[in-house]
Structure 1
């Protein structure tokens, strides 16, 4: 058991038969009343997110999540298919559970899938990925990095705000946490 006050972003716990991942956690002291923990949580099985508050002294059961390196193969119907590179065993994850992660996945990309006991519950992405620009307005001559930027559609369909000098066909490094432009890939 773990106290709610000790929960941090990325941790997982069980409550009411649900497997829950903490997306954000903050300590809040209102003007009157007791201290509470404000939490943004995601149900790892259904993919739904909720904002809630809990008392800091409440206890929850910590869930141990294991991970395994796999290769993303393709999407068939409403399932994303992954393959273990050592055993060639295939795993299916509902697309609705990994909608955010699919914005960064390319065919044959190596990622880690997450397990709770024997159940596949999610995908863990690297901090940044390299994606190719497939559509963006023309670059502006003399544009600098500090300009306001423009939208660029990446090969996965993700739209990223990029500097004005970026052109179609360039490969960019994109942050998987917030979908922001990091830099041009080498």
Structure 2
């Protein structure tokens, strides 16, 4: 068992029987009270955020999680089939691990999968994706001065808002965490 001094941002711990990742971790010593560690963590299974105060020196169960970069091949029912590029081993990863960023993942892209032993426990899409616009209303000349947006459908089927000057067939960069348009990409 580790103590609270062994934890840092990005550590995986078992908290209340659930696997969590530490997002923020701060040591506090308020006035003439005892010192404590304030932790903000995300539950890996549910994705919910939680805050907890650990006493200084409290025992914590740290979990060793191995992260691998795998290539996404195709979707099969409620899983994504990913391949390890070194061993060519295929792994089935539940779609729920990717959350809303799943709609921006296209075949052939590299994703990060976390393993506890041989079992995948979380998935992370790349931070940005370059996708082609398959449908949007045509842009009107001179509409670049305002920040007005219009709906567009991307090659993966995702629907986002893009600036008025974006047209069908253009490549755009999308933030997979928020689902927002970032910029146009030259071909």
Scaled to the shorter chain, the TM-score interval is 0.7 to 0.9
Contact 1:40 1:49 survives alignment (8 Å):
no
1:43-122, aligned counterparts within 5 Å? 44=44, 46=45, 48-57=46-55, 59=58, 60-122=60-122
Aligned to 1:126: 126
Distance 1:130 1:67, change over 3 A: same
Aligned to 2:42: 41
Give distance in 2, aligned partners of 1:101 and 1:68: 18
Give distance in 2, aligned partners of 1:145 and 1:127: 28
Contact 1:38 1:51 survives alignment (8 Å):
no
Contact 1:160 1:179 survives alignment (8 Å):
yes
Q: TM-score scaled to structure 2, two decimals?
A: 0.76
Dislocated runs of 4+, deviation >6 Å: none
Q: What is the Cα deviation at residue 37 of structure 1?
A: 4.7
Aligned to 1:179: 179
Give distance in 2, aligned partners of 1:25 and 1:159: 32
Distance 1:185 1:2, change over 3 A: farther
Q: Name the Cα RMSD after superposition.
A: 3.0
Per-residue CA deviation, residues 50-85 of structure 1 (Å, 9 max, x unaligned), is: 343322537543333222222111111111110112
Provide the aligned length of Structure 1 versus Structure 2.
176
Distance 1:36 1:135, change over 3 A: farther
User: Which of structures 1 and 2 has the bigger CA Rg?
Assistant: 2
Contact 2:98 2:125 survives alignment (8 Å):
no
Residue 100 of structure 2 aligns to a residue whose secondary structure is helix
1:138-153, aligned counterparts within 5 Å? 138-144=138-144, 146-153=146-153
Q: What is the Cα deviation at residue 11 of structure 1?
A: 4.4
**What 5-or-longer segments of structure 2 have no aligned partner?**
27-33
Q: TM-score scaled to structure 1, two decimals?
A: 0.77
Contact 1:112 1:125 survives alignment (8 Å):
yes
**What 5-or-longer segments of structure 1 have no aligned partner?**
28-33
